[in-house]
Structure 1
Amino acid sequence: MGLFGAMNIAGSGLVLHRKWMDAVSDNIANINTVRPTSGNAFQARYIVAQADNYGQASGVQVGGVEFGNAQGRMVYQPGHPLADAQGYVRMPDIDLSDQMTQLMMAQRGYQANLAVVERAQAAYQQAIGLGR
C-alpha cells in the first residue's frame, strides 16, 4: 500500500466516524422528544460500518442505518399538552450513557484517522522536499 492508499483508507474512516458522530449527536439531541401515544416515538439512528472491498485494504463505508424501537417508552406526564386521556406520552427509548460511550468511540476513531492523514501528508511533503 502506498502513501495515497493510506490517505484514502484513513479518509474513508474519517467519513464513517463523522457520520457516526452525527447520528449519535442527533440521538442525544432528541432524547427528550415527546410524541403523543397515537404516534411513533423518535427512533434513534445507528450507523452500520462495512468494509469496502473486504480483503483488499481499501477502507470502510457506511453499510446502512438501523433504527431504534418506534414504540419507545410510555411516560406518565398528565400535564403535558400531548398527553392522552390517561396522562401518558411517548418518549424515545434512548440510553444517554450508551450514546455518550458511542460518541467517545466515534471521536477517538475520527482522531486516529485524522492523525494518519496528517502523518501521511507530512511524509508526502518530506518526499517532495527531498526532490528539490
Structure 2
Amino acid sequence: MSGIFKAIGIAGTGVTVYRKWLDAVSDNIANINNASPTSGEAFRARYVVAQAVEYGSGEGGVQVGGIELGKAEGRLVYEPTNPLADDKGYVRYPDIDLGAQMGQLMMAQRAYQANLSVVDRAYDAYQAAIQLGRNG
C-alpha cells in the first residue's frame, strides 16, 4: 500500500507546481497589454522554476524552486495618443510573447491533468484494495 500513497504524494507535488505554473502564465497573458510610462518599469513576466525534491530517491517529487522575472525595460511602443506616453510619444509594454505563453499554458495544463490522473488512478487502486480486503 505504501507505493500507492507515494504515488499520490509525488503526483500531488506535481499538481501543486503545475498549478503555480498555470497561475504565472495566466498572469502573464492577462498583463500582456498593460502600458506603463517610460519612466517606470513594464510588467515583468513570471516564470516558475521547478526543482526535484530528493532527486533519484523516488520519494520526493517536485517543488517550486523560485520565480524568475522578465525584463523590467519591456519594449517601447510609439503611442502618442496614450495618456501614459512620454514627451516623445512612447510607452512601455511588457516583453511577453503571446505565442510562447500559449505554448507554456498548454504544456502546464496537460502536465497538471496528467498528475491529477495519477492521483485518481492511485486512489482507485487503493479503493479496489480495500474492497478486496473486505471481500476476502
Whether these two folds match at TM > 0.5 is yes
* Equivalent residue runs for 1:1-132 within 5 Å: 2-57=3-58, 58-132=60-134
Aligned-pair distance for 1:54?
1.2
In the aligned structure 2, how far is the partner of 1:125 from the partner of 1:65? 38
Q: Which runs of 4+ in 1 moved over 3 A?
A: none
Q: TM-score scaled to structure 1, two decimals? A: 0.98
Secondary structure of the residue aligned to 1:43 is: coil
Structure 2 unaligned segments of length 5 or more: list them.
none
Q: TM-score scaled to structure 2, two decimals? A: 0.96
Structure 1 unaligned segments of length 5 or more: list them.
none
Letter in 1 for 2:30: A
Secondary structure of the residue aligned to 1:62 is: strand
Identity of counterpart residues, as a percentage?
A: 67
In the aligned structure 1, how far is the partner of 2:3 from the partner of 2:80? 63
Aligned-pair distance for 1:53?
1.1
RMSD over aligned Cα atoms = 0.7
In the aligned structure 2, how far is the partner of 1:86 from the partner of 1:79? 11
Aligned-pair distance for 1:18?
0.2
In the aligned structure 2, how far is the partner of 1:2 from the partner of 1:115? 16
